[in-house]
Amino acid sequence: MKTLFKLSILLIICTLCFDASSQKQNKKISLEDIYSNRLFTNLSISGLRSMNNGEHFTTLKDKSKISKFSYKSGE
């Protein structure tokens, strides 16, 4: 679960850096951007279950097959 949290934070940071570098102007952050436009809402990952060892995760394929993957290699 810690690894999933770290991956989520990394994804948010990368998204924010990409957005910041693609904008040529300095724009102030407004409350509307945060709450109405949800500009800084984190992305979610569904269908992924972290295993207790912190090194692997499982997904459900075809609603019947559980597949195990490594965080490190993706295999």
- Tokens 């709450």 sit on residue: 35
pLDDT in tens, the chain (75 residues): 567 777 777 778 877 766 555 555 677 889 998 889 888 887 777 788 889 998 999 988 888 899 999 988 988
Report residue 55 as tokens: 């090194």
The candidate with the shortest Cα–Cα distance to 55, out of 1, 15, 11, 8, is: 1
**Residue 62: helix, strand or coil by DSSP?**
coil
For residue 56, the model assigns a pLDDT of 92
The candidate with the shortest Cα–Cα distance to 72, out of 53, 44, 46, 45, is: 53
pLDDT single digits (tens) 10-31: 778 877 766 555 555 677 889 9
For residue 34, the model assigns a pLDDT of 87
Q: In this structure, how many other beta carbons lie within 10 angstroms of the beta carbon of residue 63?
A: 5
| Predicted model pTM | 0.41
Contact 60, 47 (CB under 8 A): yes
